Structures are given as C-alpha cells and as structure tokens.
Amino acid sequence: MRKKIVAGNWKMNKTLPEAEQLIKELLNKINTEQKVEVIIAPAFVNLPLAVELTQNSDIEVAAQNMHFEDAGAYTGEVSADMLKAIGVEQVILGHSERRAYFNETDEVLKKKAHKAYEKSMTNIFCVGEQLDDRKAGKHFDVVKSQLQKALFDLPLQAYKKIIIAYEPVWAIGTGETATPEQAQEMHAFIRETLAKKYGQDLANNVRILYGGSVKPGNAADIFSQPDVDGGLIGGASLKAGDFDAIVEAAKKL
C-alpha cells in the first residue's frame, strides 16, 4: 500500500513574514492522522524558518531546486550540503518551470538526480509534456524520454528516495486539469516504464504524484485513480484552507 502524498510547491511566493503566517495556519489546520505524507516547498530564504516551525509536526519540508555540484563558483546557486545543513532532506527537481525558464536540460537533471542520490536526499522528480506534444500524440514518448535520460542510470536502491510527479505543462497554473482518466493513463504508463527497467516490485512501490491545477474540488477524483498517489500542488498550496482540504481528500482514500 503506497501512502499518499500531498506536496505544496510554493514557487516564488511568500516573503518571510507571509511564509511564517501560512506555515502557522497549516500547523493549526492540518491533521494527517499519519494517513497522508504532507510536504511543503517554500523558497530557499524561507526554508530555515519552515524547518524550525514544522519540527515535531506532520509537515515535511522540501527545497524547490538545488545545484549538482557540492560547492564552488556558481553564483546564485544552492548545494545539497547547504540544504542538508539546515535540515532539508527533500528537493523538487526538473519542474517544468525550471526546464522552460532556466534551461534545465535532461543532462543537467541527470546530474542533479545523481547528486540527490549521493546525498541521500528525496528527489521529487517532475516530468510532463507540453500541449503541442499531447496534440501530436507524443506525450508518452516525451515523459518516457525525460525519465530515461535523467533517472535510468541510477541503481535500483535510489528509488527508495524518488517520488515522480507527473505535471502536464498545459495544466499548470491554467485552471485546466488533466481528467482523472488522462492522469491515470499516464501514471500507469510511468509505472510500466519503471517496471520494464527495474522490475514490477520497484514500480509497485514508487509513488507517482499528479500536478496541475489540483484544487479542493477535483482532488478526490484525481487521487482516487489507482496509480495516482497524491498531488504536487501549486496555487492551492498557498491557501491554508485549500491545502488542508486537499490533504483531507487524500486522507479519505
């Protein structure tokens, strides 16, 4: 039985005081009853506060990115060791916004994924096709290639700390969601792709999240699909009430 995950990607939102307020609201509202894993990913500058405030709570903290080198002349970058030193053990890698706006290629993401493995960090790895890919019927090929290029040189044991997030780019921040059937179809395909490479056992255990306009009103329908193990939430993770409602939807399944 795969435990569901509800993860909030805050993206470039919330100043330190705003982050403090939101985290305190989340701590008041969210009660996972150990049925759901809850993760928040605030901006780098808010991570130390997030770690401090969520100590002894059910809420875990992830970064939204990291560099693949340990240290050095990489102005503006943050390393795995820096994250670990403040108690952050999870990182989102390969988000479509990083791929699109910051030129993160499959090769770069492969290095980042290997660094996360080397440093024993949980890698919440994002894949997903553009609208044109889907219209051209290439969505399965695109997602398969993203997985293969960045993750398939990793050994089997690396997947203990890999969570896949399927985020169709056309559904991110657009209000347009993949239908539960579209999500299920892709999640099943991702699991099958993992099974072919690493075996069915591993594929059965990897958690695959859906991301793209998940809201309180559609979360239950999407999360109830057999291969959907929760969600990576953008906009709705910035409102404590909405995020809590999505956690509640996951809890009931």
233 touches ligand 13P by CB under 6 A:
yes
Nearer to ligand 13P, 150 or 198 (CB): 150
* Short-list 229, 223, 247, CA closest to 28: 247
Collapsing DSSP states into helix, strand and coil, what is residue 211? strand
Amino acid at 236: A
Tracing tokens 């044109």 back to the chain, one arrives at 132
Q: Do the beta carbons of residue 94 and residue 133 sit within 8 Å?
A: no
Q: What is the DSSP letter of 120?
A: T
Secondary structure of residue 231 in the 3-state scheme: strand
Q: Which of residues 96-135 bind ligand 13P (CB under 6 A)?
A: none
Residue 61 vs 233, nearer CB to ligand 13P = 233
139 is catalytic: no
What is the amino acid identity at position 196? K
- Report the DSSP beta bridge partners of residue 125: 93, 164
Q: Is 213 in the site for ligand 13P (CB under 6 A)?
A: yes
DSSP one-letter code for 235: G
Annotate each residue in 141-170 with x if it binds ligand 13P (CB under 6 A) or - if it does not, as one string.
Answer: --------------------------x---
Instruction: Output the furthest CA–CA distance in the chain (Å, rounded).
Output: 48
Rounded CA separation 64/135 (Å): 29
Stretch that binds ligand 13P, among 21-29, 46-54, 98-106, 226-234 (CB under 6 A): 226-234
Residue nearer to ligand 13P on the CB measure, 95 or 139: 95
Residue with tokens 């060791």: 81
- Taking CB under 6 A as the criterion, the residue among 42, 168, 230, 234 binding ligand 13P is 234
Query: How far, CA to CA in Å, does 175 sit from each of 209, 212, 214, 225?
Result: 18, 8, 8, 20
Catalytic residue among 37, 60, 89, 95: 95
Residue 50 lies near ligand 13P (rule: CB under 6 A)? no
Tell me the two tokens of residue 137. 């019927």
Specify the residue for token string 């399944």. 253
- Does 94 participate in binding ligand 13P (rule CB under 6 A)? no
**211 binds ligand 13P, rule: CB under 6 A:** yes
Contact range with ligand 13P by CB under 6 A, out of 17-25, 30-38, 81-89, 208-216: 208-216
Active site residue 67: no
Q: Are 165 and 125 in contact (CB under 8 A)?
A: yes
Q: Which of 88, 158, 172, 219 is the binder for ligand 13P (CB under 6 A)?
A: 172
Cβ nearer to ligand 13P, comparing 72 with 175? 175
Identified binder of ligand 13P from the candidate list 235, 240, 243, 249, rule CB under 6 A: 235
The residues of the shown chain that bind ligand 13P, judged by CB under 6 A, are: 9, 95, 167, 172-173, 211-214, 232-236
Catalytic residues, which ones? Answer: 95, 167
